[in-house]
Amino acid sequence: MRPGVLTTMQEILKLVDGRKTYLVATVAVIYLFGADQHWWTESTRVTEILMFGGLAALRAGMKKPAEPTSPATPTPTPTPPNP
C-alpha cells in the first residue's frame, strides 16, 4: 500500500470523526426515500447493512466515558442501634 493512501484514509476518518451516526442516517434516509419513490428496488441486505452500520456508529460513540462533573461522595454507613 502506498504511503499517501494511509494518510488520505486518516484524513477521511478525522473528517467523519463524531459524524458517523449522522452520515449513516443520511445515507439510510436517501436510500429508503429512493426505494419508496421506486427509483430503485429495496434490498433487505442493504437495509440490514445500514441498520448494523448505525448501531456500530452509536456503539463507537459510547466507548468514550463521560467525565464526572463532581467528585464522588462516599455513602455513609448506617450504625447499628445500641441494645
Taking the model in full, what pTM does it have? 0.55
Q: Where are the domains of the chain?
A: 18-62
Q: According to the model, what pLDDT value does residue 74 have?
A: 65
C-alpha cell at 41: 428496488
Q: Is there a contact between 41 and 48 (Cβ–Cβ < 8 Å)?
A: no
Q: Pick the residue with more confidence: 81 or 65?
A: 81
* Residue 53 C-alpha from the chain's centroid: 8
CA 17/CA 58 separation, integer angstroms: 12
Distance between CA atoms of residues 65 and 67, nearest Å: 6
Per residue in 22-49, pLDDT tens? 888 888 889 989 999 999 998 889 888 8
For residue 70, is pLDDT > 90?
Answer: no
Is 70 exceeded by the pLDDT of residue 83?
A: no
